[in-house]
């Protein structure tokens, strides 16, 4: 069911369709190549990870954010700067755990799923799982090990899309032995 | 509004994945050709979809040359952020589109080192063009060749039924 949106010949908008359609073709191809949805989810996460470890450099080069002091700041930067820069949306940061190590990103709209409908035989497919991999890979490059997964997904009937991010640990930089 | 860079990263990762995947499936005789056709097939479907969005409200094209000019200007600008630099034709159904600084190849270092690998990164775009033309009523075969890094030629041969 394609969403009605106002047609402008804005080239930025056209470009986002290129990305969205390409992503759709990729997921379709993965579904063909792998037998089950779990495998596809894993592949999407892996590919997202590979993209994330490179995307972080692009992000740091384009934005002028410095080092984040804590996880809360990280959450804000992800939601207000990164998502805005790359996907043009600003998710809200909510549902902080009492320990301050877990939060949710609530996306009112998800550009990846424009024009997308999940058929019945793919009910456990996490269509946008690439995003989880991207976030995980990007944060790993700035010394943070996180666990990212989708808690709610509009494609599966929920009202909003919710990404849950949990801080696992700080990754220590390993200096080669013998370095002073 | 996805940033252009996202598409480039996704495309790079797609190419890398398709090739790694074919290699790991252990069927060594299933070589580059399958990978290329997989990528080309993906581009084909996306091209079909894209061209529908672009030309929804525009009047129909006068002839094949008009279509090719549209591809060289509006389509290329929307997808690759610049126009085709040179269009040549033999007026008998063959067109050569030359792009001197192809958007998906600019990140490669210049020189001969990676020329062999470059075609992998052109397959998807060939599919895009073929898909776009197919939905405009032109069945064709699209191939790409590259002799100097970042400058490539797309050859479109219209299939006469």
Of the candidates A157, A68, A149, A161, the residue with the CA atom closest to the CA atom of residue A111 = A161
List all residues of chain A from 85 to 104 with a beta carbon under 8 Å from chain B.
85-88
Q: Does the reported pTM lie above 0.90?
A: no
The pLDDT of B123-136, averaged and rounded, is 95
The pLDDT of A145-156, averaged and rounded, is 93
Of the candidates B61, B133, B20, B150, the residue with the CA atom closest to the CA atom of residue B98 = B150
Best residue of A12, A19, A31, A61 to probe chain B, by most B CBs closer than 10 Å: A19
Q: What is the pLDDT of residue A128?
A: 94
Between strands A161-170 and A144-152, the pairing is: antiparallel
Residues composing chain A: 180
pLDDT single digits (tens) A2-19: 443 333 345 555 567 899
Contact B1 A29 (CB under 8 A): no
Of the candidates A111, A25, A12, the residue with the CA atom closest to the CA atom of residue B48 = A25
Burial of B161 (0-12, 13-18, 19+ CB in 10 A): exposed
Contact B50 A18 (CB under 8 A): yes
The complex's ipTM?
0.90
d(CA B62, CA A98): 66
The pLDDT of B73-77, averaged and rounded, is 92
pLDDT single digits (tens) A43-52: 999 999 999 9
Burial of B4 (0-12, 13-18, 19+ CB in 10 A): middle
Between strands A102-107 and A92-94, the pairing is: antiparallel
Contact status of B112 with chain A (Cβ, < 8 Å): no
Q: What is the pLDDT of residue B109?
A: 79
The pLDDT of B110-129, averaged and rounded, is 88
Query: If you write DSSP's letter for every residue of B120-158 in order, what string do you get?
Result: GGTHHHHHHHHHHHHHTT--EEEEEEEEETTEEEEEEEE
Residues composing chain B: 161
């Amino acid at each position: 069911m394609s969403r009605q949106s106002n047609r402008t010949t804005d080239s930025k908008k056209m470009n986002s369709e290129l990305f969205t359609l390409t992503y759709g073709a990729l997921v379709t191809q993965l579904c063909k190549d792998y037998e089950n949805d779990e495998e596809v989810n894993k592949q999407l996460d892996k590919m997202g990870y590979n993209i994330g470890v490179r995307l972080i450099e692009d992000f740091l080069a384009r934005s002028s954010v410095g080092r984040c002091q804590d996880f809360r700041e990280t959450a804000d930067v992800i939601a207000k700067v990164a998502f805005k820069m790359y996907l043009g949306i600003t998710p809200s940061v909510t549902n902080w755990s009492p320990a301050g190590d877990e939060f949710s990103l609530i996306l009112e709209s998800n550009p990846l799923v424009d024009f997308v409908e999940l058929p019945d035989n793919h009910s456990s497919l996490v269509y946008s799982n690439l995003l989880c991999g991207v976030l995980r890979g990007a944060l790993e490059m700035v010394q943070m090990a996180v666990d990212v997964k989708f808690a709610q997904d509009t494609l599966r009937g929920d009202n909003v899309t919710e990404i849950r991010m949990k801080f696992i640990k700080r990754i220590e930089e390993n200096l080669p032995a013998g370095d002073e | 509004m996805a940033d252009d860079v996202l598409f480039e990263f996704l495309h790079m990762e797609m190419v890398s994945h398709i090739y790694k995947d074919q290699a790991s499936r252990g069927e060594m005789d299933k070589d580059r050709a399958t990978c290329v056709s997989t990528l080309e097939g993906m581009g084909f479907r996306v091209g079909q979809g894209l061209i529908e969005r672009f030309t929804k409200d525009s009047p129909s094209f006068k002839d094949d040359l008009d279509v090719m000019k549209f591809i060289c200007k509006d389509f290329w600008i929307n997808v690759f952020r610049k126009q085709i630099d040179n269009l040549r034709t033999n007026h008998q159904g063959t067109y050569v589109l030359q792009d001197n600084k192809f958007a998906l190849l600019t990140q490669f270092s210049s020189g001969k080192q990676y020329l062999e690998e470059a075609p992998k990164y052109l397959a998807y775009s060939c599919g895009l063009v073929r898909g776009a033309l197919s939905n405009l009523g032109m069945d064709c075969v699209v191939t790409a060749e590259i002799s100097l890094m970042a400058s490539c030629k797309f050859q479109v041969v219209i299939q006469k039924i």
